[in-house]
Structure 1
Amino acid sequence: MNTRIKTILCVAAALAATTAASAMSHPVMLEDQGSFFAGGVVKTAPGAYTGQPLDRSGETLHGDHAYVFYQKPVKAHQNALVFLHGAGQSSKTWETTPDGRDGFQNMFLERGYTTYLVDQPRRGKAGQTTITHTVTAQPEDQMWFNIFRLGTWPKYYDNVQVARDERSLDQFFRQMTPNTGDFDQEVISDAMVAVLETAGPSVLVTHSQGGGPGWETAMKSDKVKGVISFEPGDFPFPEGEVPPAEPTRSPFPAQGSAVSMDEFLKMTKIPVAVVYGDNIPAEHEHTDNWGMDNWRIRLNLARKWVDIVNRYGGNAELIYLPDRGIYGNTHFPFADLNNKEVADVMEQWMKDNGLAE
């Protein structure tokens, strides 16, 4: 949207009166909002275009781009927030929570930040892919329930910060969306660089699988002024310094990836935070609960990564929410019942690191 607009967003009183929870708790004056595609490639079929409807010779295919929806409030902070989702998710991750409350999109818009919500290439509204891929219908809701640390199906963890009614759980499961093409970190990070060219100076906020392409984006783009990564499982280490994979009961072992020292040192030039929630066993506390053990080894890897970034002169911080007195968080701390407390921690970290001007 090129024209300046001023829009007040609010929830109608009648709607609020009929729901247990509602999003957009404060009216926001917007200067601009819109959507766009960023990055991607164009492939051309062999041969010369003939104009025949079933002859694809010479025709083009635009794909592997990102989709972005943005909102800019009046008098916005200098740095925007660019949000990248995790595995099986889309930008819905950051929108209204499964039980109908403000997600981080609304929360930080209300706090004066421009928000850019991204669907990564080959996912969600960015589903146009340039490679052939088969999407299978696979029953796996209970796997996600376990690995996302809501509990061990069908029982929730005693302190877990999620609404436990059937509708909220139904909404949570329906957030899952398939890849339309193979996950490709290079493709995603290239598209994210293009997103940043439009967004300008930004704090990149990633979740889970989005952490890998997030680090790569930060190494490619000088528009990334800081990174906040919620529960990532992949980290870039200097060549020759990648820790060995740690044994786990989880079928999804975690291991760092190797990058050149020149690339790694780029991560030492910006402030970085990695954030983990609750119900993760202690460092050496192996457990047969694979959903928990999966995150024990990822948290251990995060500790090693933060240490090595700081050893090379960087500014990395591990934020383990129980250490802040915040308990019961799942793999989605930004959508849990206590997500306002989590947002406060995130914003305070930005203020402490000069990113919230």
Structure 2
Amino acid sequence: MLLSQILARSTSILGHVYEAAVGGDINPTRDFFYVGGHYENFTYMIGQIYVERLTPPKVTEPYPIVFIAGSGQTGTNFLKTPDSRPGWSSHFLSAGYVVYLTDQPSRGRSPWYPGIGSVAAFDTHKVETLFTAPEDYGLWPQAHLHTQWPGTGHPGDPVFDSFYATQVQLQANELISEETNARAYSALLDRIGPAYLITRSQAGAYGWRIGDARPHLVKDIVALEPSGPPFENAFPFKGRQRTWGITALEISYEPSAGPNATALHTVTVAAKDEEHTSCILQAEPAKRLKNLSRVNVLVVTAEASFHQPYDYCTVLYLRQAGVKVEFLDLGEVGVRGNGHMMFMELNGEEIAGRVGVWLKKQRV
């Protein structure tokens, strides 16, 4: 076989594999680029992100969607599920959206410059206890309700192994991570124009910072279980703190929150019931999130996730600070059994549909 024939055949095979990943009947146009970053001593570029643009044959929605993955994950996790069903990118491509899949700075296909910050990764035990099989460990009150993971959720199960193979290193320094993400994704919006953000977990804080920096370009934010609760973490990431309420680094308040948020006064509100945590909110009169309050927000929380005890605190905090936020508590609307990886679980398509309905409603 001639080399040209081999290359043509390989390209055809790769094309079919890619179409299967995003949904073969969609056949989007695929492109990629890098954006953001800056030179360090004119020797190395750091902070840039890999961006993959998927365009459906017929674009019917006025604004694209930018996906920002959570800890240890990349844009690939929105292409398909670990058991090979079409992922959320397929759902929104089918609905006529241009989709941007991204890798955070120093993550996946976005280069890592050695010596800046430190590296971390999730081991299999953390993944199964928090994400894929929490019902077998019962580390929070709602964990036993988890039913939607497509497999046993333990190492050795093909679906778990497929999922765990996608997990990559992440920047362990939260301050570096938040700052580099806010810069890179602001640069992305400067390049592509107005867009919806869908943030997940760790990326929740980055979405708030991007909305603060580019409120005229962030049309809406869908926060899938955003990093929280306000000010200080609850289980399982205790010890981390968000000095500025919903972010570790500065975000704009009116009146000013002062240097290092020293004028941001707080009060603890009792838990709404025994299965939820207490909330740290602002003392009244509350300061307003000056720029973020210009952006509509949807917070989505799963019934069985470790976020279930405290995501309502994030919603209360945002509302108190003047943000137009809706709370989609999946269990409360009859979407049962989901954990933190809701977007790749068995009923993930239904959840994507509810997100799509909300996005359309914002344009009415």
Percent of matched pairs sharing the same residue: 24
How far 1:245 moved relative to its partner? 4.3
Which residue is equivalent to 2:33? 36
TM-score normalised by length of structure 2: 0.74
Which residue is equivalent to 2:260? none
Which residue is equivalent to 1:146? 129
Equivalenced residue count is 300
1:114 and 2:98 aligned: yes
* Partner SS, residue 118 of structure 1: strand
Give runs of aligned pairs for residues 114-133 of structure 1, distance below 5 A.
114-129=98-113, 131-133=115-117
Q: Which amino acid aligns with 1:231?
A: E
Distance 1:146 1:85, change over 3 A: same
Which residue is equivalent to 2:193? 200
CA distance in 2, matches of 1:175, 1:277: 22
* Partner SS, residue 268 of structure 1: helix
Moved more, 209-218 or 139-148: 139-148
CA distance in 1, matches of 2:211, 2:111: 24
Deviations 1:17-59 (A, max 9, x none): xxxxx654462254x4211111011012xxxxxxxxxxxxxx6
1:164 and 2:162 aligned: no
TM-score normalised by length of structure 1: 0.75
- Alignment match of 2:320 (pick from 274, 289, 308): 308
Which residue is equivalent to 2:248? none
Deviations 1:275-304 (A, max 9, x none): 010115xxxxxxxxxxx4xx2453142232
Which residue is equivalent to 1:64? 47
- Alignment match of 2:311 (pick from 281, 299, 314): 299
CA distance in 2, matches of 1:198, 1:93: 24
CA distance in 2, matches of 1:299, 1:181: 23
How far 1:207 moved relative to its partner? 0.3
Q: Which amino acid aligns with 2:91?
A: M
- Alignment match of 1:353 (pick from 352, 357, 362): 362
CA distance in 1, matches of 2:135, 2:183: 37
Q: Is the 8 A contact 2:301 2:328 kept in 1?
A: yes
Distance 1:126 1:244, change over 3 A: closer
Which residue is equivalent to 1:271? 296
TM-align CA RMSD: 3.0
CA distance in 1, matches of 2:173, 2:22: 35
1:250 and 2:236 aligned: yes
Which residue is equivalent to 1:4? none
CA distance in 2, matches of 1:41, 1:297: 39
Deviations 1:82-106 (A, max 9, x none): 0001111111221211110011111
How far 1:72 moved relative to its partner? 1.3
Which residue is equivalent to 1:187? 180
* Structure 1 outlier segments of 4+, above 6 Å: 8-12
Q: Which amino acid aligns with 1:109?
A: L
Which residue is equivalent to 1:175? 166
Which residue is equivalent to 1:215? 208
Which structure 1 segments of 5+ residues have no match?
1-7, 16-21, 45-58, 236-242, 281-291
* Partner SS, residue 329 of structure 1: coil
* Partner SS, residue 92 of structure 1: helix
